[in-house]
């Protein structure tokens, strides 16, 4: 097990003290990160103590410790999963060669771009969520928000470490730029679309954790296959923390659905708004929005970038090493759902250029599993409604469907039909205003806002009514 030396300024398991140049670069970046955190991190709670977990080792058993701390005192550090002795590149043109401990010169630009794109999402999500604390539905939820936020901060550190350690001056410039861009800023926006959207309320937040963080899971899993070993090891450890973010999203939406169903049963009505709940139709519209902007994060269905990332050995498929094929895919094909005039068809495309779509398929299957659990809750209450994922062509801004209007059930439709129906399919201003009207803080331990059910258990064996954040 690789313990982390907490006496160092930057906790790490990468022998930072032996690399003075890198240590100095990171020590110079650290105060600027903290400045960014104070400006753009959770608004109004920097001096409050929260019951947070901190990574203290990369050991599968007991890698984290839980304690009260103020967020600016969180020990953001650099942790890489243990090296796998003799690891070889698992796919692409370099398959079977030893994994690279350093950046291969010819792929420097591409690799830097991938790392910067990944890194950019992490601070973006913290910026998007910075005002949510003020309207938390409970101390339990507030604590989970802060946990996710500090860990996104750590994931930024993880990418900055790679940039500073392996990309020299360009890397340091990119590290700086990661603190300069701002979510939603017209002049210096974050790189990917979904990270410039607003997260103004907790329904949006839980949808974001379910759909958008899940893109993170799939992208990180693909980068964890990378032939560039430091990236692979970094992403493998990030995935350990990411699991909690998925949990927050799935249980967050699940608890809202649960509460809605309770209110529907109690009042024998679909219209639970007047009883302070969020109706299933509104929840469906939020699903449609967050799912579609997250589907865009996988890029175009047919992408030469994706083929190049793979052939170069930089980004693999989800669970690449478990797949029983040649891991080069030069002859293989893959069925891709595409727009063909005013029809949607499935065509066999070369597998290499279809890798974004393949990852999107893995992602959709994972989303369906969560959705099924929400639907089981609805069914258990004897309610005859099913939540559904929108068709992958619905409301897309990237890829072939960006050119068309597609209904949630997968019909190519006219602009006129789109305009007439869009209010049924995507959150309206009234929906947003209604959801916003429910956002009133509940901060008494063990109490929950009326629109969300309590969780089935607390964090780290603590009771649900534990004081997860000390606001006093």
User: What is the footprint of ligand BYC within residues 175-194 (CB under 6 A)?
Assistant: 192-193
Distance from C-alpha of 334 to C-alpha of 324, rounded to nearest angstrom: 15
- With CB under 6 A as the contact rule, which of the stretches 115-123, 162-170, 334-342, 458-466 interacts with ligand BYC? 115-123
SS3 346: strand
Q: In the 3-class helix/strand/coil scheme, how is 289-318 assigned residue by residue?
A: HHHHHHHHCCCCCCCHHHHHHHHCCCCCCC
Piece of the chain touching ligand BYC by CB under 6 A; list 118-126, 166-174, 428-436, 456-464: 118-126
CB atoms within 10 A of CB 13: 21
The residue number whose beta carbon is nearest to ligand BYC equals 299
Compute the least distance from the CB of residue 340 to ligand BYC, in Å: 19
DSSP state of 444: S
Distance CA 91, CA 308 (A): 12
- Which CB, 104 or 299, lies closer to ligand BYC? 299
Sign of the torsion angle spanned by Cα atoms 421, 426, 432, 438? positive
Q: How far apart are CA 365 and CA 14, in angstroms?
A: 36
Query: 191 near 147, Cβ under 8 Å?
Result: no
- Please answer whether residues 398 and 299 qualify as being in contact, where contact means their C-beta atoms are separated by less than 8 angstroms: yes
Nearer Cβ to ligand BYC, position 138 or 183? 183
Tokens of 79: 């942790």
Q: How far is the CB of 348 from ligand BYC (least distance, A)?
A: 19
User: C-alpha angle 209/215/218, rounded to 5°?
Assistant: 125
Q: Which lies closer to ligand BYC via its Cβ, residue 356 or residue 407?
A: 356
> Residue 206 is encoded by which pair of tokens?
């839980």
- For ligand BYC, give the closer residue by CB, 216 or 427: 216
Alpha-carbon gap, residue 375 to 249, rounded angstroms: 15
Per-residue contact track with ligand BYC, 204 to 243, x per CB under 6 A?
--------xx-xx--x------------------------
Phi, psi (rounded to 5 degrees) for 190: -70, 165
Which of 49, 122, 151, 320 is close enough to bind ligand BYC by CB under 6 A?
122
CB 102 within 8 A of CB 322: no
Selected binder of ligand BYC within 125, 149, 175, 432 (CB under 6 A): 125
CB of 205 vs ligand BYC, minimal distance in Å = 11
Q: Is 339 in the site for ligand BYC (CB under 6 A)?
A: no
Task: Name the token pair of 209.
Answer: 């954790």
Nearest to 148, CA basis, from 204, 197, 208, 81: 208
Give CA–CA dist 88/228, Å, rounded.
10
Range in contact with ligand BYC (rule: CB under 6 A) among 62-70, 121-129, 341-349, 381-389: 121-129
In the bound state with ligand BYC, the residue whose beta carbon lies nearer, of 107 and 448, is 107
Which residues from 256-315 bind ligand BYC, rule CB under 6 A? 296-300, 303, 305-306, 315
Contact between 58 and 14 under an 8 Å Cβ cutoff? The reply is no
What is the spatial distance between Cα 359 and Cα 399, in angstroms, rounded to a whole number? Answer: 14
Q: Least distance from C-beta 213 to ligand BYC, angstroms?
A: 4
Residue nearer to ligand BYC on the CB measure, 128 or 432 = 128
- How many chain residues are in contact with ligand BYC, going by CB under 6 A? 25
268: left (phi over 0), alpha (psi -120 to 50) or beta: left
**CB of residue 384 to ligand BYC, shortest distance in Å:** 34
| 97 in Cβ contact with 88 (< 8 Å) | yes
Rounded distance between C-alpha atoms, residue 114 and residue 260, angstroms:
41
| C-beta of residue 220 within 8 angstroms of C-beta of residue 242 | yes
User: 94 or 315, CB closer to ligand BYC?
Assistant: 315
Task: Note whether 356 binds ligand BYC by CB under 6 A.
Answer: yes
Instruction: Fill in the per-residue mask, 389 to 428: x = in contact with ligand BYC (CB under 6 A), - = not in contact.
Output: ---------x------------------------------
Closest CA to 58 of 85, 77, 81: 81
Question: x-or-dash pattern for ligand BYC, window 6-45, by CB under 6 A?
Answer: ----------------------------------------
To the nearest whole angstrom, how small is the minimum distance from the Cβ of residue 294 to ligand BYC?
A: 9
Residue span binding ligand BYC (CB under 6 A) among the ranges 110-118, 130-138, 336-344, 407-415: 110-118
For ligand BYC, the binding residue among 151, 152, 164, 431 (CB under 6 A) is: 152
Stretch that binds ligand BYC, among 18-26, 113-121, 412-420, 447-455 (CB under 6 A): 113-121
Q: Which is nearer to ligand BYC, 30 or 305 (CB)?
A: 305
Residues that bind ligand BYC (CB under 6 A): 114, 117-118, 121-122, 125, 152, 192-193, 212-213, 215-216, 219, 296-300, 303, 305-306, 315, 356, 398
């Amino acid at each position: 097990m690789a313990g982390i030396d907490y006496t160092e300024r930057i906790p790490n398991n990468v022998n930072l003290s032996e690399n003075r140049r890198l240590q100095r670069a990171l020590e110079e970046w650290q105060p600027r990160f903290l400045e960014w955190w104070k400006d753009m991190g959770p608004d109004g709670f920097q001096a409050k103590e929260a019951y947070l977990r901190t990574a203290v080792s990369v050991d599968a058993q007991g890698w984290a410790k839980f304690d009260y701390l103020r967020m600016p005192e969180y020990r953001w550090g650099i942790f890489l999963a243990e090296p796998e002795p003799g690891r070889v590149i698992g796919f692409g043109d370099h398959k079977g060669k030893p994994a690279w401990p350093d950046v291969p010169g010819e792929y420097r630009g591409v690799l830097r771009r991938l790392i910067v794109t990944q890194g950019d999402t992490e601070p973006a999500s913290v910026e998007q969520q910075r005002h949510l604390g003020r309207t938390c539905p409970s101390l339990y939820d507030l604590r989970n928000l802060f946990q996710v936020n500090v860990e996104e901060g750590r994931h930024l550190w993880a990418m900055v470490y790679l940039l500073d350690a392996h990309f020299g001056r360009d890397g340091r410039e990119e590290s700086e730029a990661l603190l300069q861009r701002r979510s939603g800023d017209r002049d210096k926006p974050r790189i990917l679309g979904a990270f410039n959207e607003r997260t103004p309320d907790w329904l949006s937040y839980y949808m974001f954790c379910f759909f958008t963080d899940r893109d993170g899971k799939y992208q990180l899993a693909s980068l964890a296959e990378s032939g560039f070993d430091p990236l692979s090891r970094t992403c493998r450890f990030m995935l350990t923390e990411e699991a909690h973010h998925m949990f927050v999203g799935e249980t967050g939406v699940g608890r809202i659905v649960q509460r809605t169903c309770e209110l529907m049963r109690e009042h024998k009505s679909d219209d639970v708004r007047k009883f302070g709940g969020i109706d299933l139709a509104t929840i469906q519209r939020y699903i449609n929005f967050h799912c579609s902007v997250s589907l865009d994060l996988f890029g175009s269905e047919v992408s030469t970038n994706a083929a190049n990332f793979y052939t170069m050995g930089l980004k693999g498929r989800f669970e690449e090493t478990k797949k029983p094929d040649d891991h080069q895919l030069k002859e293989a094909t893959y069925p891709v759902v595409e727009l063909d005039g005013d029809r949607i068809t499935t065509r066999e495309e070369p597998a290499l250029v279809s890798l974004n779509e393949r990852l999107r398929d893995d992602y959709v299957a994972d989303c369906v599993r969560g959705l099924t659990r929400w639907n089981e809750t609805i069914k258990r209450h004897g309610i005859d409604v099913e939540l559904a994922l929108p068709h992958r062509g619905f409301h897309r801004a990237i890829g072939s469907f960006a050119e068309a209007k597609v209904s949630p059930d997968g019909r190519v439709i006219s602009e006129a039909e789109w305009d007439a129906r869009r209010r049924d399919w995507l959150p309206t201003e009234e929906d947003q205003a209604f959801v916003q009207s429910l956002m009133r803080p509940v901060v008494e331990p063990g109490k929950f806002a009326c629109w969300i059910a309590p969780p089935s258990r607390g964090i780290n064996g603590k009771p649900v009514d534990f004081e997860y954040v000390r606001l006093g």
